[in-house]
């Protein structure tokens, strides 16, 4: 008597679907964090608020290209190769002064830090939901 066993290895497909679900969740987290950052951003002309954006990064690495207020183009590698991440930020030159404050009297607003850090449980739930609905 002989027994024949056939099997299929779906680990690559499973990993691909897992990464896709995580990236969808990170994109949703990035959009949500961007909204929170814009809500917390100081507004005078609206230029800083309108410049806030987000980017997501997969395991293969991401290069983000953007233009500053004077039309100069910059390319920046985001994060290390072995990470999945969402980033929020602004390319407006004075964003860092509004975020961190200055020695000569600009009070730190922390609109980016607060958007990223004050909603950790919500971001966790977004990722969890994305994985459950994959």
Question: Tens digits of per-residue pLDDT, 3-59?
Answer: 898 888 888 898 889 888 998 999 999 999 999 999 999 999 999 999 999 988 765
The total of structural domains in the chain comes to: 1
51-77 mean pLDDT: 67
72: left (phi over 0), alpha (psi -120 to 50) or beta: beta
Q: Contact 63/76 with Cβ under 8 angstroms?
A: yes
Residue 4 resides in a domain: no
Q: Give the span between the Cα atoms of 100 and 106, in whole angstroms.
A: 9
**Tally of CB atoms within 10 A around 118:** 13
Residue 25 resides in a domain: yes
pLDDT at residue 82, as a whole number: 63
Residue 6 resides in a domain: no
Q: At what angle do helices 120-132 and 11-40 cross, to 10 degrees?
A: 150
Residue 36 resides in a domain: yes
Q: What does pTM read for this prediction?
A: 0.77
Residue 75 resides in a domain: yes
Query: How many alpha carbons fall within 13 Å on the CB side of residue 18?
Result: 8
Residue 110 resides in a domain: yes
Q: What is the percent of the chain where pLDDT is above 90?
A: 54
The domain containing residue 34 runs over which residues?
12-132
Residue 76 resides in a domain: yes
Residue 46 resides in a domain: yes
């Amino acid at each position: 008597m002989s027994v024949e066993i056939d099997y299929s290895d779906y680990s690559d497909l499973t990993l691909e679907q897992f990464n896709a679900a995580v990236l969808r969740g990170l994109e949703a987290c990035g959009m949500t964090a961007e909204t929170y950052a814009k809500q917390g951003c100081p507004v005078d002309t609206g230029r800083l608020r309108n410049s806030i954006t987000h980017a997501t990064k997969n395991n293969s690495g991401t290069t983000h290209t953007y233009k500053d207020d004077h039309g100069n183009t910059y390319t920046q590698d985001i994060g290390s190769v072995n990470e999945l991440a969402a980033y929020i930020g602004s390319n407006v030159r004075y964003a860092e002064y509004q975020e961190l404050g200055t020695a000569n009297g600009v009070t730190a607003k922390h609109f980016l830090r607060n958007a990223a850090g004050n909603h950790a449980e919500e971001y966790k739930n977004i990722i969890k939901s994305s994985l459950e609905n994959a």
